[in-house]
Structure 1
Amino acid sequence: MSDQIKFIVDSLSTEPFRKSYNLITFDSLEPMQLLQVLSDVLAEIDPKQIVDIREEMPEQTARRMLSLLGTLKYKPPGNAADMSTFRQGLVIGSKPVIYPVLHWLLQRTSELKKRAYLARFLIKLEVPSEFLQDEIVADTNKQDISAMEEEKDQLIKRVERLKKRVETVQNHQRMLQIARQLRVEKEREEFLAQQKQEQKNQLFHAVQRLQRAHSQLKSLRHAAADAKPESLMKRLEEEIKFNSYVVTEKFPKELESKRKELHFLQKVVSEPAMGHSDLLELESQINEINTQINQLIEKKMMRNEPIEGKLSLYRQQASILARKKEAKAEELQEAKEKLASLEREVSVKANQTREFDGTEVLKGDEFKRYVSKLRSKSTVFKKKHQIIAEFKAEFGLLQRTEELLKQRHENIQQQLQTTEEKRGVSGYSYTQEELERVSALKSEVDEMKGRTLDDMSEMVKKLNSLVAEKKSALAPVIKDLRQLRQKCQELTQECSEKKSQYDSCAAGLESNRSKLEQEVRGLRDECLQEESRYHYTNCMIKGLRVQLRRAADEMRAYVSSDQQEKRKAVREQYTKNIAEQENLGKKLQEKQKAVRESHGPNMKQVKMWRDFEQLMACKRECFLQQRGQTPAGQVIQEGGEDRLVL
């Protein structure tokens, strides 16, 4: 059933329907709305079905839909008894009846459109008897009837041939009976599978509602168990700390970042439009700044200051902790907003529940009793709903019967009027009916007046007796109420005295608690300072040990007599690198000097060679012009073909 509903919703969301339904909204449609959806789908197949069902009688709607479904060859599941259930479900808009119809129609819409269009020309028309008096119409009708009879005879002969073919098989009656039973069982299996799926869906929804009720009950119990002064104070302290952090640290940082961003954007907007040269200049400045930064980093690494390295480590840890703190604060803020929205939703639901039945949310055994009561009411409702459906169906039949009787009555009245006119006493029956109706109305009015006076006197007597009974019943209650009011005043006075004592005691405890909290806070700060000092000293000692070990290794390698060991020393490596770079620099200087000395003669030689090339090209062009030949590289036509001159 869920797959069926999903297919229906997906099909209705596309062209040409464009219905904005989802699984929940579609499943919660009222019967009239569901019938309107079915009518819209049928109207897409056959444009004659465009009808607002609110302006149509239920029987007319059912008759119209059944006739079109019969034309489209839709086969409802089940036997004749199920067929009556199908008609009744179509009248009342039952979901188990309409969902399969919608699924079947939406699966083959284009095919059904063609069938509905052709049905107008293929279905036999009922010709009234007065038109059959015409010879042409009568002959055409007879030919149609004879053609249908011939088709019927052919079908009968085909069925007889199939029967004869089957009769040659052994136990054919038994096999036919088994096949018939198989078809019936398959249809029953489909119906049971559909019921099973519906029950699974109902069970799933019931389990979800039960889980939500359990979670709400657990949260309410937790809130009730946590309603102590200590827990409330702790919760308030946490909230105060969080709010103070948000106000003093988070919001100022965000505000400052937004201001910087705004200032930068205003600066960008105020500056004139930049060209390609400006961009090149900015790129050069960026490259220069990057080189300066790299040089500063190299200088810092050459200095190798351990204290700055350790401080950078602590700064990095502090920044990581600050980011984590900001992230947790944002998560806490989101959780608080979500909790507040859920609490508002719970309060709205509770108010709706109170407005619905005037009671609070039930718990425990009361909830179980309420559920059992609802189940009993649900069974009663289903029975009543079924009775109403039967009454509606019967009402449709009676309405049709009434229409037929009215038509018959009108025909009889017309016949009576014609008879009266023939006899010369026209209007006699109408006058007689009016006299009888007036006399009947007069007698009814007289009886009503008498009944009204008797009823009024009886009502006055009843009201007087009720007033006397209520007074006698309320007398002892009023006496008890006076005593209870006096007792309530005494208890109120005692409660105010106890409350003042509690407030004074709570104020003293609050002052002592604040002093103890200040002392504890000071001791915690001192402990944290000592711990940080200890960790800092420990890190410094470790760094110095590493430096001492490096210095000892360098000294050992420097004073060692082994040449291989000396080469591993940092000083030797740096000395070797410096010598190599100096030699390379000398070679490059010599090469630069040679290039500078030969630059002038080389440039003169290049210029002379270019002039020589121009002179030779000029001589070649002059020679070709004198000879009258085509310059090389051009294309000429020779013998109807193109030829390239070399």
Structure 2
Amino acid sequence: MADQMQFIVEKLNQEPFRKNYNLISFDSLEPLQLLQLLSDVLAEIDPKHAVDIREELPEQTAKRMLNLLGILKYKPPGSVSDLSAFRQGLVTGSKPVIHPVLHWLLQRPSELKKRAYLARFLVKLEVPAEFLQDDTVADINAQYEELMEAFKNLHKEHEQLKTSGLSTAEIRRDISAMEEEKDRLVKRVERLKKRVETVQNHPRMLEIARQLRLEKEREESLAQQKQEQKSQLFHAEQRLQRAQLQLKEMQDAVADSNPESLMKKLEEELNFNSYLVTEKMPRELESKKASVFLLQKVVAEPAMTQTDLTALQSEINEVNAQVNQLIEKRMLKYEAADSKFSMYRQQASLVARRKEAKAQELQEAREELARLEGQVQLRSSHGPELGGPQAPPEHEFKQYVAKLRTKNTLYKQKRQEISEITAECGILQRTEELLRQRHQALQQQLQSTEEQKGISGYSYTQEELERVSAVKSEMDEMKGQTLDNMSEMVKRLNAVVAEKKASLAPIIKELRQLRHKCQELTQERDEKKLQYDSCAAGLESNRAALEQEVKVLLEECAQQESNYHYMNCMRRSLEVQLQRAREELKACVSPEGQQRRRALREQYTKMILEQENLGKKLREKQKVVRDNHGPNMKQMKMWQDLEQLMECKRECFLKQQNQAAIGQVIREGGKDRLVL
């Protein structure tokens, strides 16, 4: 205990708490201060618990702490194993309860922080089954579970990346290697650019290559679009065929029918569905709930021994004997009164059983039809993957047709039976109504007779007793069945446990030997791992030195290769120049006149003379133009002024002609008026 307190004080005096406690001050803390200290430690693990406990109720504090301790999987020690005692100790701030909790929390803070962080996302919310019946709630719950699984996977990947991450030295080496690779690639690109620049029309060729690449990419995208459109067209054709087939089936079904038959079918389907909803489903639901309640009750009860089962069995036998005696007495006493309705009750129960059986068969047939339709749709949807819809073999198709014929005949028979049962049910309902009216009349007559005799209410009391006895008999029968099931279940469980023990005994013995062997192998593995790590560290250092040396040699090799190519190119260019010089020398030395005229020196000399003469002529022409520039510009200005003057004269002449024409018209108009 002193070691535990010493550990707690040391941890609380460190970061992030820094409480400055000693053993005496820590032991003298009040219960409220001790609870606040525990809340502060829990807040360090989960920040949501940073609460001042003076502002909340003790029950809320205990509930909050118990919830977090349960998430962190804290198990109380043996001295406070009782949950109620542990809860009471948390509420009161008991030292024997809080000290072990603090010791356990301060031993593994990082692990508990991680667990509290994961609990926020991985503690599943339990949704009641009745709420999951709603489709929206079910979809949201399924999405919630998928997100939880995705979070688990991502967290695992994150932890793996954290544990298997590279060191900074390795990252720096990788960065330097990538930079060197980048430099080499840049140099290579520059060399390729220089090599390409010597090619004639290289921009045009690069543009053509770029257009070719773009066209290839466009061709691939168009091919993919074409394939997608083909698949969409095929799916659309499949949907169209299915829709046409359904339309044809509906037209065939409606072709020979009339409104009365359709209404009759709808009424039959409505009656069947209402029977399922109002009678069959509630009964099944109640039976399931009752069985679940009994199973939960059985699970909640402690384990039974063989003596308990024997006592229960004897009690069941005694209760069954008493029930049988009571039933015999009742039958002897009320046999005459029950004989009137026994026949009708038997018929009604028989009809109800037949109705329930037929409804079950019809429901199974509908489920089978839905399953077959689903298989047909699945096969039709998987048709494109298999190269198109495939027809079944001939013998399978014949078998399928024969099966459909038998099912059709069976369906007609069942339909006929259902119609007969419906008619019989109508008759029985009418009979029941008549009997109920007769029973009411007899009941009124009986009540009047009881009032006359002074014993009013006797029949009602008798019926209540019969009903209570019937309910008691049903409960006793259900209790007997439950106890029988419990006894059988216990027997099966005992047998399974014994069988598992017998089968696991040799495995447990072998497991002990394997555990001992595993410990030895683990120790040997640790030793080998240490040797391997030391050897790997030495090899890693040697490998790094060798890699650096190889890198230097590769760079030197690349430099020498570049120098070699450069010298080779210079040698070729010099050879070409030397060859041209030899040819020129040969042409100059040759005695033949034609070869001498073809010499480059003579040609270049001739071209130089021609260009010099041309330049002399151009300079003379330039001098003439420069000398005549002033008079020429003056003459050009005079010509422009003359052109402008002539244009003005032309406009004046045109204007004078227009005025004369207008005056002539006016004079002619005046003469016309005078004549008139």
Q: Structure 1 length as normaliser, TM-score?
A: 0.34
